Amino acid sequence: MGAKSRSEQASEAARSVASNPYVRRILEDEELRDNIRVAFEAAKNAYGRMQNGNGPAKALMDDKKVQRELRTAAESLREASDQLRGKRRGGGFGLGKAILIAVIGAALVLILSEDARRAVLDKLFGAEEEFEYTSTTTPAPETESVGTSS
């Protein structure tokens, strides 16, 4: 009675696969499946091009299409592995993006608003003293020129 039947072994294997978090993520995440599919197709295409009769080393070194397909496969596999580990690339709004938007916004405010420019300059260099110029000297009296008439 110690031996399990094949159907019991199969149902136990199915239960263990269904409880695996990686398998569940593959089943639920369409983008992950697309990345895996793209990586497989690119690797298959590269393998097919390397079987052209010249040898794989020559194909790897000379054939730009093989290199592009392998690069595509590697990038898709990297994205898939990041997704499996729970890392999302480019989907979030990170601190770097927030700082960049804040700097651009501040620059636009300073460029477009004279009041904001004046306030920043006052904070940096102190308030500008406003004054009116009044002359302390009196203008010289105009003298009539005595001319000789001819």
| 18 and 69 part of one domain | yes
Q: What is the pLDDT of residues 39-52, one digit of tens each?
A: 999 999 888 888 87
The pLDDT-based confidence of 71 (bands split at 50, 70, 90) is very high
Which residue matches tokens 């052209």?
Answer: 52
Domain total for the chain? 2
| 101 and 42 part of one domain | no
pLDDT recorded at residue 37: 92
Supply the Cα-derived Rg of the chain in whole angstroms.
Answer: 39
| 87 and 97 part of one domain | no
- Neighbouring CB atoms inside 10 A of 27's CB total 13
The pLDDT-based confidence of 68 (bands split at 50, 70, 90) is very high
DSSP per-residue string spanning the chain: --SPPHHHHHHHHHHHHHT-HHHHHHHH-HHHHHHHHHHHHHHHHHHHHHTSSS-HHHHHHH-HHHHHHHHHHHHHHHHHHHHHTT--SS-S--HHHHHHHHHHHHHHHHHH-HHHHHHHHHHHH-PPPP-----SSPPPPPPPP-----
| 47 and 62 part of one domain | yes
| 87 and 39 part of one domain | yes
Last residue of a domain, one of 91, 121, 140: 91
Among left, alpha and beta (phi > 0; psi -120 to 50; other), residue 88 is beta
In a domain, 1, yes or no: no
In a domain, 149, yes or no: no
| 52 and 120 part of one domain | no
| 104 and 31 part of one domain | no
- Neighbouring CB atoms inside 10 A of 48's CB total 11
| 53 and 103 part of one domain | no
Q: Report which residue type is found at 32.
A: L
| 28 and 78 part of one domain | yes
| 42 and 103 part of one domain | no
pLDDT reading at 6 higher than 70: yes
pTM summary value? 0.48
pLDDT recorded at residue 144: 64
Q: What is the pLDDT of residues 84-142, one digit of tens each?
A: 887 766 556 778 888 989 999 888 888 888 888 888 888 888 877 777 778 788 777 77
**Higher confidence at residue 4 or residue 44?**
44
Structural domain boundaries, residue 71: 9-91
